[in-house]
Amino acid sequence: MSAKLQHVEAGALQGRPLRYYDFIMAAFVAILLLSNIIGASKPSFVVLPVIGSWTFGAGVLFFPFSYIIGDVLTEVYGYARARRVIWTGFAALIFMAFMAAVVVAMPPAGDWPGQASYEFVFGNSWRIVLASMAAFWAGEFANSFVLAKMKVLTGGRMLWTRTIGSTIMGQGLDSLIFYPLAFYGLAGWPIEQLGQVVISQFLLKTGWEAVLTPVTYIVVNWLKRAEGLDVYDEKTDFTPFKTGV
């Protein structure tokens, strides 16, 4: 049986065993890396009534799950532990970019025909890599900060207001930073298409958050009962430039 739910300040978790924190961290990092590898630079489209063809980034279908997990982390474990996971994801992105650069640059065996395709898929320019890192860092920290502050202000009520409100801020920054930094001025990315992608990224990501709000409620409530706690960041140091809890 789960422990009785306790309203605790984030600092009170020092030394307390957390049963599922490591699993949530692993899921966050896995989704972050996969969504950046498989689809971050591929524009796709849908045909909408009246509007016609509308372009969006294909990675938008799965990347928002990292924000949902970020919401769960902050809501259940507090900003400081979410901050630690964000920095873990950031370090994983750096290693992924380094590994991709090294492997792509290595000379292929003479009879291997896949080098060009391999470079196309994994040989992202450093411009795209840096844009992805900057957008991730700013968006995730904004998301976690807004959610933690809103939780204290609302006394833990109306979870949907802070999951959606924090996503509007975090995903807004992510979309505004990544696509212009990564693709502005490049062939195949006219300014009109770039603007469509930025807007559609923001709308689709926040839309995903709204649609999956019932799932977020289920996961958050289950984790709070399983861990026996409900964390409030009432005295938390909100600087993003540390990894300690």
Q: Report the DSSP beta bridge partners of residue 231.
A: 8
Q: Give the residue numbers spanning the domain of 205.
A: 7-13+21-105+114-232
How much is the pLDDT for 2?
A: 41
| Residue scoring higher pLDDT (1 or 14) | 14
Structure tokens at 245: 């809890």
How much is the pLDDT for 57?
A: 66
Instruction: Look at residue 2 and tell me if it is in a domain.
Output: no
Instruction: Look at residue 220 and tell me if it is in a domain.
Output: yes
Instruction: Look at residue 241 and tell me if it is in a domain.
Output: no
Instruction: Look at residue 245 and tell me if it is in a domain.
Output: no
Using a pLDDT cut of 90, give the percent of the chain over it: 43
Structure tokens at 99: 């590994």
Instruction: Look at residue 243 and tell me if it is in a domain.
Output: no
Note the pLDDT tens digit of each residue in 46-104: 888 887 887 766 776 777 788 889 999 999 999 999 999 999 999 999 998 899 889 88
Q: DSSP assignment of 106-134, as one string?
A: SPPPTT---HHHHHHHH---HHHHHHHHH
Q: DSSP assignment of the chain, as one string?
A: -PPPP-EEEGGGGTT---SSHHHHHHHHHHHHHHHHHSSTT-EEEEEETTTEEEEEEGGGGTTHHHHHHHHHHHHHH-HHHHHHHHHHHHHHHHHHHHHHHHHHHSPPPTT---HHHHHHHH---HHHHHHHHHHHHHHHHHHHHHHHHHHHHHTT--HHHHHHHHHHHHHHHHHHHHHHHHHTT-TT--HHHHHHHHHHHHHHHHHHHHHTHHHHHHHHHHHHHHHT-EEE-SS----SS----
CA distance 46 to 53: 6
Within the chain, strands assigned E span 7-9, 43-48, 52-57, 230-232
Instruction: Look at residue 240 and tell me if it is in a domain.
Output: no
Note the pLDDT tens digit of each residue in 160-177: 999 999 999 998 998 899
Instruction: Look at residue 120 and tell me if it is in a domain.
Output: yes
What is the number of domains present in the chain? Answer: 1
Note the pLDDT tens digit of each residue in 183-236: 888 777 788 888 887 887 788 878 888 888 999 999 999 999 999 888 999 989
Whichever domain contains 166, its CATH number is 1.10.1760
Instruction: Look at residue 49 and tell me if it is in a domain.
Output: yes
How much is the pLDDT for 41?
A: 61
